[in-house]
Chain A
């Protein structure tokens, strides 16, 4: 089931939650809505689910307009950050709920319901918990039950609102891999909201980066990470170094470096910002080519398999570089040492608002 979102606008009082959002989600894809809190991602998800009405615009499921349809008629499965399990019902009754509330004519028999619930509990690997109550379960187990409950109604679309946000790091990582595998098995069109870039990168087929009620970029995780479309995406997805400079007829001058900026051929002596990922900063003891600037090593810290090096150039700009352990061992850097830093894959944008 594909979803077509057209020109959705939504205001809450003075606050512009969604500003003319259009988005196509193809059948069977797992799409992440990624953005900081307040960017409108949850509002968009709730509009898709029919829990909020947009001020204008339309939503179509598989070509059929559903903008005016009530949540219960949309056949969406919704998974909440805090699970929203029914506390007074056993795990079994929670998962069976969506089937037992159907009108008598379309309600499966008791035996069929039992069968389907047990199948789903097996799918989420928790069939041994059927008779327990939610408060007896761990957070990760609760979220898997919430997912089974959402899947029980055979939704056309699965919507997940920060599904791992309330879990601790280890469980979160396990669960998102598991969700990815599950999606590969059942292929239901899924949209999930997250503010965690790693989560979006690891789980989704496509990432929609949102900011201030607008879509900044739509693309595969690789595209979003390696060719960010806007400065916001650069800063939000992954760590980044930022340099101020000026751009003139396709060339940017950042400090002592001249960097090609072919996208900005029209600009004449305009203020610009250049972005470089820390792992795209090379550190050498001798100058290698034009695109290197002298800098001083300030601090070296080891974070897992990476070594993070803090440097400062001659204009006192802070530069962050990331090396692999073996790379760092090879270099044998010391704090206070004078080196050269050579940025690669520099992306230049015009400074916004100037």
Chain B
């Protein structure tokens, strides 16, 4: 790393400490994960991560995360829109509470959601009457992951929506566009990069989520057992290498997502400079 000249002091110590601490807390531990999985050998690694129970857990984790992120994309956009564009009583409180999933410990969210969406819960009883079972099914996982991911979408879309140039909408109206045409053809494309980023963030978070899910999921192997739970199960059986293999696959998926998010932001900054 080559530094350009500056009269400010402290570059060396600050950067040195940053890299030292980063290595100690994040990089070395993460590389241990890859080293450990290497002890397995390729065939054993492949056999582990393609075992039916593991595949089912991946499918469940990624599938429910995807559905939850899609729900969040729709409702997160709606919430952001309403908070930016409309006035109503209690708006400030609602706005502050949107961050609740960031602040509420996941275990608390898990037991609370289980309590209300169980068959005898406040909301669950009405859904059960319609024959919809939420708690202890994959649907429950979607509910928990939706709760976890909501602020990611709202808080990425909201500032972009607030910064939106009013005149652009007026221009569209003066050119004869209906309100719906203005929203779908002018506003939506402008906030699309932010919405995609929020979606990807919510998805990435949901894939790895553990605390809020295990209470509501039921945790039946092959049916409602998420990948992070399987890692813990393998650990408790002292199958460290297998747990590591499952984790490595998830980690690589996360890195790809992270890369996608960075590319997306780079692209939208360039495009909409």
B180 CB → nearest A CB, Å: 10
Do A97 and B165 contact each other (CB < 8 Å), given the known contacts A80-B171, A88-B189, A88-B272? no
Is the beta-carbon distance between A98 and B176 smaller than 8 angstroms?
yes
A254 CB → nearest B CB, Å: 48
Is the beta-carbon distance between B190 and A78 smaller than 8 angstroms?
no
A90 CB → nearest B CB, Å: 12
Is the beta-carbon distance between B168 and A77 smaller than 8 angstroms?
no
Write the A299-321 contact mask toward B (1 if CB under 8 angstroms, else 0): 00000000000000000000000
B3 near A: Cβ within 8 Å? no
Is the beta-carbon distance between A72 and B174 smaller than 8 angstroms?
yes
Is the beta-carbon distance between A78 and B177 smaller than 8 angstroms?
no
Tell me which residues across on chain B come within 8 A of A51, comparing CB atoms. 170, 173-174
Within 8 A of A (CB), among B177-235: 177-178, 181, 185-186, 189-190
Is the beta-carbon distance between A97 and B271 smaller than 8 angstroms?
no
Is the beta-carbon distance between B167 and A72 smaller than 8 angstroms?
no
Tell me which residues across on chain B come within 8 A of A152, comparing CB atoms. 175
Do A80 and B167 contact each other (CB < 8 Å), given the known contacts A88-B272, A135-B273? yes
B40 near A: Cβ within 8 Å? no
A32 CB → nearest B CB, Å: 20
Residues of A within 8 A of B (CB): 49, 51, 70-78, 80, 82, 84-89, 97-98, 101-102, 133, 135, 146, 149-150, 152-153
Tell me which residues across on chain B come within 8 A of A78, comparing CB atoms. 170-171, 174
Is the beta-carbon distance between B171 and A153 smaller than 8 angstroms?
no
B172 near A: Cβ within 8 Å? yes
Q: Give A161's nearest chain B residue, CB to CB.
A: B167
Cβ 8 A contact of B177, one of A84, A87, A101: A101
Tell me which residues across on chain A come within 8 A of B172, comparing CB atoms. 86, 97, 101
Tell me which residues across on chain A come within 8 A of B189, comparing CB atoms. 86, 88-89
Q: Give A133's nearest chain B residue, CB to CB.
A: B271
A267 CB → nearest B CB, Å: 48
Is the beta-carbon distance between A76 and B174 smaller than 8 angstroms?
yes
Is the beta-carbon distance between A49 and B174 smaller than 8 angstroms?
yes
A72 CB → nearest B CB, Å: 5
Is the beta-carbon distance between B175 and A149 smaller than 8 angstroms?
yes
Chain A CB count within 10 A is highest, among B171, B172, B174, for: B174
A141 CB → nearest B CB, Å: 16
Cβ 8 A contact of A135, one of B167, B168, B178, B272: B272
Is the beta-carbon distance between A84 and B167 smaller than 8 angstroms?
yes
B93 CB → nearest A CB, Å: 26
B181 CB → nearest A CB, Å: 5
Cβ 8 A contact of B165, one of A74, A82, A102: A82
B244 CB → nearest A CB, Å: 44
B268 CB → nearest A CB, Å: 10
Q: How far is the CA of A73 from the CA of B185 in the complex (A)?
A: 19
Is the beta-carbon distance between A88 and B175 smaller than 8 angstroms?
no
Is the beta-carbon distance between A72 and B173 smaller than 8 angstroms?
yes
Cβ 8 A contact of B176, one of A87, A102, A135, A146: A102
Tell me which residues across on chain A come within 8 A of B171, comparing CB atoms. 78, 80, 84-86, 146, 149
Q: Give B175's nearest chain A residue, CB to CB.
A: A98
Tell me which residues across on chain B come within 8 A of A88, comparing CB atoms. 189-190, 271-272
Within 8 A of A (CB), among B132-187: 165, 167-168, 170-178, 181, 185-186
Is the beta-carbon distance between A72 and B177 smaller than 8 angstroms?
yes
Is the beta-carbon distance between B176 and A84 smaller than 8 angstroms?
no
Closest 4 pairs (CB-CB, A-B): A98-B175, A84-B167, A78-B174, A101-B177
Tell me which residues across on chain B come within 8 A of A149, comparing CB atoms. 171, 175
Tell me which residues across on chain A come within 8 A of B177, comparing CB atoms. 72, 97-98, 101
Q: How far is the CA of A306 from the CA of B190 in the complex (A)?
A: 50
Q: Give A88's nearest chain B residue, CB to CB.
A: B189
Q: How far is the CA of A190 from the CA of B273 in the complex (A)?
A: 32
Is the beta-carbon distance between B170 and A84 smaller than 8 angstroms?
yes
Q: Given contacts A78-B171, A84-B170, A86-B168, could you give 6 more A-B pairs where the C-beta distance is less than 8 Å?
A: A80-B170, A86-B172, A86-B189, A102-B176, A149-B171, A150-B174
Q: How far is the CA of A86 from the CA of B172 in the complex (A)?
A: 9
Q: Give B176's nearest chain A residue, CB to CB.
A: A72
Q: How far is the CA of A220 from the CA of B181 in the complex (A)?
A: 41
Q: How far is the CA of A89 from the CA of B170 in the complex (A)?
A: 16
A152 CB → nearest B CB, Å: 8
Tell me which residues across on chain B come within 8 A of A84, comparing CB atoms. 165, 167-168, 170-171
Q: How far is the CA of A67 from the CA of B115 in the complex (A)?
A: 57
Is the beta-carbon distance between A71 and B170 smaller than 8 angstroms?
yes
Q: Give A98's nearest chain B residue, CB to CB.
A: B175
